[in-house]
Amino acid sequence: MATDIKELSRRIFEEVWNKQNLSAADEIIASNFVDHDPQSSVQGIEGYKQFVRYYLTAFPDSHFTVEDEISEGQMVMTRWTVSGTHTGNLGAIPATGRRISVTGISCGRVENEKIVESWTNWDTLGLMQQLGVLSATAQRAA
């Protein structure tokens, strides 16, 4: 494979998210891209850009740090941490002004030097707790 798939994965975090250069997704994401994330359903380049805009609206100063990367064949696994300040609406959750730090793991499959499929798991519960949107009962149950 001509492209280092770890570098391809890293570009998602550095260029698309950290530098907020959504046009870079056109070079990295395949037109038939599918993301398997329990929190959302993302398909295609435009779907991915819309997904990024959704979170950047809520956390405009968000910054991803790539903690680890492992690749084998067409697969790349990236463990990451994102931090930011909740200054915009996150869906129905109004801005809280709170700082957050959340960890996650993304596993991507690469074909023809673009990411065609991704599986992402991240600490959604931790995010909701940090934003203070869970009731005390819900926090005890979690």
Dist. CA 24–CA 67, nearest whole Å: 22
Residue 2 is predicted with a pLDDT of 44
Q: Beta strands 63-72 and 40-43: pairing type?
A: unpaired
Dist. CA 96–CA 45, nearest whole Å: 30
Angle at alpha carbon of residue 32, lines to 28 and 37, rounded to 5°? 80
Among 103, 105, 115, smallest CA distance to 79 is for: 105
**Tokens 């805009």 identify what position?**
53
pLDDT tens digits for the chain (142 residues)? 446 899 999 999 999 999 999 999 999 999 999 999 877 788 999 999 999 999 999 999 999 999 999 999 999 999 999 999 999 999 999 999 999 999 999 999 999 999 999 999 999 999 999 999 986 555 565 5
User: Under 8 Å CB-to-CB from 6, ≥6 apart: which residues?
Assistant: 69, 71, 76, 78
**Is residue 104 within 8 Å of 122, Cβ to Cβ?**
yes
**Is residue 5 within 8 Å of 71, Cβ to Cβ?**
yes
Domains within the chain, CATH numbers bracketed: 5-141 (3.10.450.50)
DSSP tag of 89: -
